[in-house]
Amino acid sequence: MKRIILFTALVVVLSLQTKAQKGLKEGDKAPMFSGVDQNGKTVSLKSALKAHHSVVLFFYRGQWCPYCNKHIKELQDSLSLLSGKDAYVIGVTPETKENIDKTIKKTSAGFSILQDKDDEIMKAYNVNFMMDEATFTKYKGYGINLEDNNGNTRHTLPVPATYIIDRSGKIKYVHFDPNYQKRASVKLLLSKL
């Protein structure tokens, strides 16, 4: 019971911390980016949009987050449906390559996942926020050390936002909710593709 109350309190704290972040809006031009995925392949938004009708871009906190793993697993389980609509899926996380590998092991993700090593993609999409010291310490007490997971001391996490970007580079759909428990469902994404 105590753990549930503390967990709920952490949701409220993180929601308050991320209220300032707004993310990008439908109709905005999507910032271009590139990175190296878990397979060593260079992935760029520009190239993905040339080859596909749209891109489903999502940000996730890390392999330690059960909500992230559930969402990634759902995306993977429905990957053929998303690909059937000519969508290319890209995940972005601040985590290190080793932790991306843990995510893949937990979720069987077969799509590209990029490490946002310097927070550049998160900043471009305005989904980044800094976890305060008290919350960092609480997470550490649960065995979640952002410094180890992300390979830096910034304590930066993304709001777990999801964007659908059309071939012209415009954002067609946005799911942005500071409550990390809420994610865009695959059913909803399919209806927007």
Which tokens is 112 given?
């590209």
β-partners of residue 87 are 54
Q: How many CB atoms lie within 10 A of CB 107?
A: 22
Cα(55)–Cα(191) distance, integer angstroms: 14
Q: At what angle do helices 133-141 and 2-17 cross, to 10 degrees?
A: 150
pTM over 0.85: yes
Please, which residues have CB within 8 angstroms of residue 95's CB and are 6 or more apart in sequence?
62, 63, 103, 115, 149, 150, 151
Cα(83)–Cα(87) distance, integer angstroms: 5
Which tokens is 25 given?
């809006």
Beta strands in 49-170 (DSSP E): 54-59, 87-93, 112-115, 128-130, 156-158, 162-166
Which tokens is 165 given?
């970007």
Q: pLDDT by residue for the chain (193 residues), tens digit each?
A: 444 444 444 454 444 444 456 889 999 999 999 999 999 999 999 999 999 999 999 999 999 999 999 999 999 999 999 999 999 999 999 999 999 999 999 999 999 999 999 999 999 999 999 999 999 999 999 999 999 999 999 999 999 999 999 999 999 999 999 999 999 999 999 999 9
Predicted confidence at residue 22, as pLDDT, reads 81
Question: Do the Cβ atoms of 163 and 41 come closer than 8 Å?
Answer: no
Q: H/E element holding 188?
A: helix 186-192
Predicted confidence at residue 15, as pLDDT, reads 45
